[in-house]
């Protein structure tokens, strides 16, 4: 079977629901519109499903002029894609200090009403300087928006099948790929080949598969309902599997762009790992 891109996914607002797309423009900081916005408290600390699972129930969309958020009660927030003319303000994502452009009081009121606490919506500034870990990348300089640490996450359908086989053997329900919030899903590879490879390549495309992704409690959250069906799973099962070089709940591989900026990725696109 020829290896190819099976699906593409973007998450415009960090920790909100994702959007499945048939094609996406590859930028130096990942897929276009991916993790370009973040919800913070009034001090700039980011919000995450780790502490607020109902973030998964806010559905984003992108049209020609707007980021659109839809709440479960069908209320909508429209945010212009044109950046606001404001001075950058503080954003803190784990230990990473960076900058964001505040989207204003209307967006803040809408989101504060939904979360029942004061929050702000911020976007990545045009001159974003948030670097991907120099400790991991060495002399290669890469930047990311509001992702946890890396601009891309690659996963394989065969890896999910292997995990689901193990879950089913333990009488646990199989999981959809959405639990792992990848950007690029590939098919036609061996299970967990992404952990045994350093490069995902295609025509005029090269991604450095630079760090296995150790998973957190977000994988326990149903990405449609925001509920936890089986506490601790699939983390417990992943920890018992031996597909990584080190012990832990690993699934998917973090990646940075080496070649292909400005190229449109699309489902069905031939790729290979090496």
Q: Give the C-alpha separation, 36 to 145, whole Å.
A: 6
Contact 245/195 with Cβ under 8 angstroms? yes
Query: Taking the model in full, what pTM does it have?
Result: 0.97
Q: Which two tokens stand for residue 3?
A: 């290896």
Query: 131-139 — which CB contacts under 8 Å span 24+ positions?
Result: 132/256, 133/211, 136/210, 136/211, 137/210, 137/256
pLDDT in tens, the chain (274 residues): 589 999 999 999 999 999 999 999 999 999 999 999 999 999 999 999 999 999 999 999 999 999 999 999 999 999 999 999 999 999 999 988 999 999 999 999 999 999 999 999 999 999 999 999 999 999 999 999 999 999 999 999 999 999 999 999 999 999 999 999 999 999 999 999 999 999 999 999 999 999 999 999 999 999 999 999 899 999 999 999 988 778 899 999 999 999 999 999 999 999 999 9
Containing structural domain, residue 87: 4-273
In the chain, the number of structural domains is: 1
């Amino acid at each position: 079977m020829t290896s190819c891109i099976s699906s593409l996914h973007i998450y415009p607002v960090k920790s909100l629901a994702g959007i499945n797309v048939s094609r996406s423009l590859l930028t130096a900081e990942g897929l276009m519109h991916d993790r370009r916005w973040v919800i913070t408290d009034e001090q700039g600390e980011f919000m995450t499903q780790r502490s607020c699972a109902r973030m998964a129930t806010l559905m984003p969309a992108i049209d020609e002029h707007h980021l659109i958020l839809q709440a479960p009660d069908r209320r909508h927030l429209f945010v212009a894609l044109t950046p606001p003319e404001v001075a950058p303000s503080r954003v803190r994502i784990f230990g990473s200090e960076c900058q964001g452009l505040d989207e204003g009081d209307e967006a803040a009121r809408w989101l504060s009403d939904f979360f029942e606490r004061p929050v702000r919506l911020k976007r990545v500034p045009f001159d974003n300087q948030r670097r991907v870990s120099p400790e991991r990348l060495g002399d290669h300089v890469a930047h990311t928006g509001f992702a946890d640490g890396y601009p891309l996450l690659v996963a394989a359908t065969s890896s999910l099948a292997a995990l689901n086989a193990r879950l089913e053997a333990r009488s646990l329900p199989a999981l959809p790929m959405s639990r792992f919030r990848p950007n690029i899903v590939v098919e036609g590879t061996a299970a967990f080949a992404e952990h045994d490879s350093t490069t995902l390549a295609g025509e005029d495309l090269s991604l450095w598969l630079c760090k296995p992704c150790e998973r957190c409690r977000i994988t326990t959250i149903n990405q449609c309902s925001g509920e936890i069906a089986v506490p601790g799973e699939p983390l417990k099962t992943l920890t018992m599997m031996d597909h990584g070089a080190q012990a832990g709940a690993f699934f998917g591989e973090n990646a940075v762009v080496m070649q292909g900026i400005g190229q449109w990725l699309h489902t069905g696109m031939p790729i290979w790992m090496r």
